[in-house]
Structure 1
Amino acid sequence: MSFATLTPFLLLGLLALPGCFTNKGHQGERLYGQHCASCHGEQGEGIGQLVPPLAGSDYLARHPGQLACIVRQGLKGPIVVNGVAYNQLMLGVQDTTTHRKLSPAQITNLLNYIETHWGNHPGPAGARTIAGTETELHACGER
């Protein structure tokens, strides 16, 4: 086949390429809306002294290596966020359609969304990776 013959197929392939990524492109934001926003707020603002904020959260910055486990397993017991004490149960997150735990890739996308919005910043290593999330989950006894 000549280049002229292949050109329409190449153009069609290039036009279809963005569609390959659109399903995952905003997965973190969608997961936040599905699993977190009802308690932590649409903008991560929390609910008074009942639910801690994620926006501008010093807790996120101080505990980056525990966040994947918190998302997966939940959190029980007292914590302090931005100088305010909280002691409410947070359930671990499950996929609402399959009732299975979120995958490491889904947790990675969710945490990358949270850590780059509302005044939060990713840790010194930058954006999370799936391998890093898998390592965190393994360390807390999850896979």
Structure 2
Amino acid sequence: MRRWWLRGAAGLAAASLLVSCFSNRQNEGEKLYATHCASCHGEQGEGLRRLIPPLAGADYLHQQRAALPCLIREGQQGPIVVNGVTFNQVMPGHDDLTDSQITNILNFVQQQWGNQNQTYTIREVSELLDACHGSDGQ
């Protein structure tokens, strides 16, 4: 009986560590977004009129899923269409972010402000970044 109790307690302790680990990663995405993205795309992903596209409720996040890691790493030039509106401003790249940090930003954006898009794995982001020679393997 005592062994069963100890196994149960150990399992609960491991589960609580995993939950805090994933919570911290989710919080990391929010913090990274605030640092690197919110000044242009807005604290609530609302964008800026017809100058900077919104991320909140943006069809682009789903339609261009495979391109998003490279877009963050390399930036964007030229017109894009988000929710039927054309935007044509330069977005700077963030080559200072690791693959892991890009994954956390993307997962934060994919699940915020009414977005309910599929999240990314680090492996998926690294593979997608290989297409633009942008993976750092971290």
User: After TM superposition, is the score higher than 0.5?
Assistant: yes
Please indicate the TM-score interval, normalised by the length of the shorter structure. Answer: 0.7 to 0.9
Normalising by structure 2, we get a TM-score of: 0.81
For residue 59 of structure 1, what is the aligned residue in structure 2?
60
Give the Cα separation in 1 of the matches to 2:57 and 2:80: 16
Normalising by structure 1, we get a TM-score of: 0.78
Give the Cα separation in 2 of the matches to 1:45 and 1:31: 17
Indicate yes or no: 2:86 matched with 1:70: no
Which of structures 1 and 2 has the bigger CA Rg? 1
Identity %: 46
Deviation of 1:120 after TM superposition, in Å, equals: 1.3
Q: What's the CA shift string for 1:11-62, capped at 9, x where partnerless?
A: 8xx4994797264341100000001111100100000011000000011111
- Following TM superposition, where does structure 1 have runs of at least 4 consecutive aligned residues deviating by more than 6 angstroms? none
Indicate yes or no: 2:120 matched with 1:119: no
**2:26–2:108 Cα contact (<8 Å) kept:** no
Gapped regions of structure 2 (runs ≥ 5):
none
Give the Cα separation in 2 of the matches to 1:141 and 1:18: 32
Aligned length: 127
Q: CA RMSD in A?
A: 2.3
Gapped regions of structure 1 (runs ≥ 5):
95-100
For residue 142 of structure 1, what is the aligned residue in structure 2?
134
